[in-house]
A and B are shown apart, each in its own frame.
Chain A
Amino acid sequence: MSEETGAVPPPYVLDVSVLTELVRGGYGVMALVQQLGASGRPLVLPVLAMTAASLDLRSEDASAILYGLEKLANATAAPVKDAEQAVELAAVIAKTGLDPYDAHVAAIADASVCPILTLDAAKWRPHLHDLDEALHIVEIEDPGEGTP
């Protein structure tokens, strides 16, 4: 919740690049995501993107991180819950050419009017205007020392 206004900010939808880095145990991104959740920023975890991350690294610790992620403050897993959402996901795949994992990220971001949190802005740039409404991204990047 924002300290200034008391309003809950829009969620970040975590994409495959972020979830994969989490599953690999990247300390920096794990700490960052924990801080975002603890600060009141809702985090949406598309389950197909979680599947892609789980495919990237098959281990008990990798799985534990995904289970733990779902239990972080303000984090919510987002499934493909019914036929309507399945059809909408198919439409996003057809329009964007994204694989089903990141297409699920795009579909959720589009439907919920939320920015996508990514480590790979370059992957998203060609797709920002593929859907009726523009997608927006927020990139996790270290701007380097000496940067305010």
Chain B
Amino acid sequence: MRLLATACRPQYDPGMSDRKTRITVTVDPAMAAYAERLVKAGRADSVSAVVNEALGAARRRDHRARELFAEAAERADRAKVARMLAHVEAQAARLPASHR
């Protein structure tokens, strides 16, 4: 359903363009049926448009994840993280041989 919502929302994405590259993909039958249903219902221009939008959504999600982890690395109290890391590794060193 999330795909439906974003597929219908006009938005600018520099990664999307009128120029397309032809590729061959293999998808689960249920995903193919879903894409076909979107097209038949008039909620997407084509199966290709559905796949393009889904890839765009995945890319935006991955980009946001990288931003969040980079922000954490930047803003974390480095001295505190170093202390926690040392404490973790000290405990690991005391584990039984089977666990270290």
Contacts and interface: CB of A to CB of B under 8 A. Distances in A.
Partners in one complex: yes
Interface of A: 9-10, 25-28, 30-32, 34-36, 60-61, 63-65, 67-69, 71-72, 113-115, 117, 136, 138-145, 147-148
B88 interface: yes
Place the interface of chain B in its size category. 20 to 34
B9 to A, nearest CB: 14
Given A31-B73, A68-B62, A36 B88 contact: yes
**Would you call the interface of chain B mostly helix, strand, loop, or mixed?**
helix
Given A30-B73, A115-B99, A142 B61 contact: no
Interface string B77-94: 111110111111001100
B95 A136 contact: yes
Given A9-B100, A115-B92, A64 B68 contact: yes
Closest 8 CB pairs of A and B: A68-B65, A30-B72, A31-B76, A27-B76, A64-B65, A64-B64, A27-B72, A138-B91
A68 B66 CA distance: 7
Given A28-B76, A136-B99, A143 B87 contact: yes
B17 interface: no
Interface in B17-58: none
B69 A30 contact: yes
A68 B83 contact: no
A65 B68 contact: yes
A71 to B, nearest CB: 7
Contacts of A30: 68-69, 72-73, 76
B32 to A, nearest CB: 23
Contacts of B69: 30, 34, 65, 68, 72
B10 interface: no
Contacts of B80: 28, 142
Contacts of A61: 64, 68
A65 B81 contact: no
A31 B64 CA distance: 16
28 contacts: A9-B100, A10-B100, A28-B76, A28-B80, A28-B81, A30-B68, A30-B69, A30-B72, A31-B78, A35-B81, A36-B85, A60-B64, A64-B61, A64-B65, A65-B69, A71-B62, A113-B98, A115-B92, A115-B95, A115-B100, A136-B96, A138-B92, A139-B91, A140-B84, A140-B88, A142-B83, A142-B84, A147-B83
